[in-house]
Amino acid sequence: MLAKRIIPCLDIKDGRTVKGVNFEQLRDAGDPVELGCRYVAEGADELVFLDITATHEKRKTLAALARKIARHLNIPFTIGGGIRSVEDADILLNAGADKISINSAAVRDPDLISRLADQFGSQFVVVAVDAKEVNGEWFVHLNGGRIPTKYKLLDWVKESENRGAGEILFTSMNNDGTKAGFACDALAAVSDRIGIPVIASGGAGKMEHFRDVFTRGKADAGLAASIFHFKEIEICDLKKYLADQQISVRL
């Protein structure tokens, strides 16, 4: 069995790490590179850096950030935000990113997934999906959750896989920042629908939530932000807890 991954996520706005609730009420959480170095020391398996306003503000993710991260970190990292073309992705790959994450641009131009996978390989392409449950149905949203679409969650993740995505990063907008637990039922449905790894995001508040997302939610990786940023949970303690729960993790 492959080990489950613990992935801190650093949402970037104006060069700083921020965190909010339900994609709003943002507060400063520190320098992204300094936080990243701390997570390497604590035993994180990977890192995700997302420029959360790049698409909304029509800015491209700064390659300078990727270069700075690559100089200081020795674990895989994904970077996303404002990536709209193979050229954008190529800049980030050459700057040191291990993977790129695309979200709104992929929904608007699904063939972008195929072009990226053809150019760099599926393992380089993470399709991030922000979805919200509305009257019992999960719908994909764009631009940091600001714009609803008619895409249903399960249909979109399957299309993403078919077009060449190597991983799905699913964030539940309903759960994001609430610390009430992951959307395990929706995550399990996503995992059952596709054959590529699923990264769970949105709702982590205590160690038991990670146990649940790896068992009931069938996720391959658990991603969280504020509980790690503000040291509510230490990654090394979390991994020891999960190992005690008979969940395979890298210690």
Task: List beta partners, residue 17.
Answer: 12, 30
Q: Does the annotation count 220 as an active-site position?
A: no
Indicate the SS3 state at residue 119.
Answer: helix
Closest CA to 199 of 95, 87, 76: 76
C-alpha distances in angstroms, 105 versus 54, 141, 167, 177, 212?
11, 12, 16, 24, 31
Indicate the SS3 state at residue 20.
Answer: strand
Closest CA to 4 of 211, 231, 244: 211
Question: Which member of 45, 130, 176, 212 is catalytic?
Answer: 130
Contact 190, 167 (CB under 8 A): no
Cα–Cα distance measured from residue 99 to residue 82, given in angstroms and rounded to the nearest whole number:
14
Cα–Cα distance measured from residue 79 to residue 115, given in angstroms and rounded to the nearest whole number:
18
Q: Does the annotation count 244 as an active-site position?
A: no
Catalytic residues: 11, 130
